[in-house]
């Protein structure tokens, strides 16, 4: 069973109801992105792309459909974007603290009404 921002199934036929991420799991996920960025830098990549579209976990936090949380990670649009802001800030902090030059951090998003 997958996990998501909330225990809300996607709007697809026969979609499973995911488990809502715990707050500790959210912080662990942010740390995982930081570690992945560190590995990309060490491996000599030119950059990383944070994929915040196509109903993947990052996009689920911004969606009023999949994010029905009532804590710092959900509710208002500002709170729904808290995860994304912390994630992007954490990834760019890794890049800023490295000695790499011209490393690109991209963010893919899905434009829709939120």
Respond yes or no: is residue 56 known to be catalytic.
Answer: yes
Q: How far apart are CA 66 and CA 79, in angstroms?
A: 14
Among 9, 32, 56, 85, the one annotated catalytic: 56
Number of Cβ within a 10 Å radius of residue 63? 20
Q: What is the set of active-site residues?
A: 56
């Amino acid at each position: 069973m997958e996990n998501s921002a909330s225990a809300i199934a996607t709007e697809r036929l026969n979609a499973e109801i995911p488990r809502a991420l715990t707050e500790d799991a959210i912080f662990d996920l942010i740390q995982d992105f930081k570690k992945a960025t560190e590995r990309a830098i060490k491996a000599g990549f030119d950059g990383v792309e944070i994929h915040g579209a196509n109903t993947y976990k990052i996009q689920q936090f911004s969606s009023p459909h999949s994010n029905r949380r009532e804590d710092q990670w959900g509710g208002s649009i500002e709170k729904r974007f808290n995860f994304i802001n912390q994630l992007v800030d954490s990834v760019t902090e890794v890049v800023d603290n490295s000695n790499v030059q011209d490393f690109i951090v991209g963010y893919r998003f899905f434009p829709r009404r939120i």
